[in-house]
Amino acid sequence: MTAAPKQVPIPRKGVDYRGKVALAPMVRSGECPSRLLALKYGADLVWGPETIDKAVIGTTRHVNATTGTVDFTRFSSNGAKNPSVNADQRESVIYRLHPEREGKRLIYQIGTSNPETAVQAAKLIAPDVAGIDVNAGCPKPFSTSGGMGAALLKTPGLLCSILRALVTEVGEPNEIGISVKIRILETAKETEALVRSLCATGITGLTVHCRTTPMRPRERAIRDQLKMVATVCRESGVACLMNGDVTSRDEALELASEFGCDGAMIATAAETNPSVFRPDSDGGKAPWEEVVQEYVKTAMQVENRWGNTKFLLGQMIPGKDPMYKAMTHTKSYTAVIKALGYEVEMLDLARKVDKALEIGEYEKPKLTKSERKAANKGAKALGEQERAAQDGVHRTTAGAKRTAEMAGLDMPPDIARESGPASVPERTSALAV
């Protein structure tokens, strides 16, 4: 008889990656409504966008009765945004998930370069998700400059220590799995050595993006190391997912079978049309008009940040279609509903969401320069002693000054990197796959 293949035990509240086609972790394109739509169209698992550990530490967990979501929020420490001075200040949502619709199929991807802070952040999110994944593949300077993302591939010892800490201090107590997402290295020998060391840390899953760190999405994925990676993972009993140039569910399963992987992720194709997760036997990819309407409705149901919704609509609506131009001029859900012709079905909901988010006709007047200056002065006077006692504050002749590390705590989930199509006048970010 042939012995059954080795398999790392899947924790009671965790999930087995084997046989799964998942939504890849993408900054901006992996927020709550995008994940819910991917699941609606057949995704087995969804990865949230990389969220930095220091941004999560210090957040407060709220159950949002209106949206049914769990929101991890914090107040910004920028300027006059001191809640004791500005009682009307809104908290920023750092991470949002829908426990009923995605909780048991959601993997939280963490950006980190430190075992201690990784554990602190992961402990906060772990009870609400099916697994924690460490980003060791993002090539963007935002991650690599802080020693995170693909920079961890150059410090495998540190990466392994992060994974071991998460396994013992977060995964085991919460009964969920810990996994990692990497890129291939320059040689198969280097990649093999890395994968073997990672599989020895106690992880349950590993995803390999078939590109090297310098490569960009427009460059074709390199799959000549994939069978080797899958074999090493199988020998260790660790599930292996592949990522890179996968465009549909049927193709994902075919490629996984061809290269001996346990499953696959879809990234850019799902950003344009999340219905790529639907198999051909069930109708395959849906028309973009259907998907856009479903996305707008889902985004409003969870009160998604308007800038993020507009960015995704810019990916889903073909640039040459008249609806694209009409969408780009909108500044609220009410406006986009009218531009896209959804008034009958969604206008009332759009107005309620605009009011809740304080956008469109409900946007509050902005402070004048003198008002901001006065508020800043008041916040500084009130919080001077408290801020001086905080870690990381340096005293200068100009007063208290935040360090770059402290500023990192205030970054929103869609960390600014580059302008995206049809985005509002805000700093946007690119894919982190």
Residues annotated as catalytic are 138
First vs last C-alpha separation in the chain: 41
DSSP state of 168: I
> For residues 256 and 243, what is the distance between their CA atoms, to the nearest angstrom?
10
Cβ atoms of 53 and 112 closer than 8 Å: yes
Cβ atoms of 181 and 135 closer than 8 Å: yes
Q: Closest Cα partner for 308 from 21, 10, 19, 26? A: 26
> For residues 279 and 295, what is the distance between their CA atoms, to the nearest angstrom?
19
> For residues 27 and 432, what is the distance between their CA atoms, to the nearest angstrom?
5
The CA angle 109-8-10, to the nearest 5 degrees, is 60
CA dihedral (72, 77, 83, 89) positive or negative: negative
Radius of gyration (Cα) for the chain, nearest Å?
A: 22
DSSP state of 9: P
Tokens representing 250 are 């049927």
Cβ atoms of 303 and 357 closer than 8 Å: yes
Helices (H), 285-368: 288-301, 306-316, 322-328, 333-340, 343-357
Tokens representing 50 are 């990389």
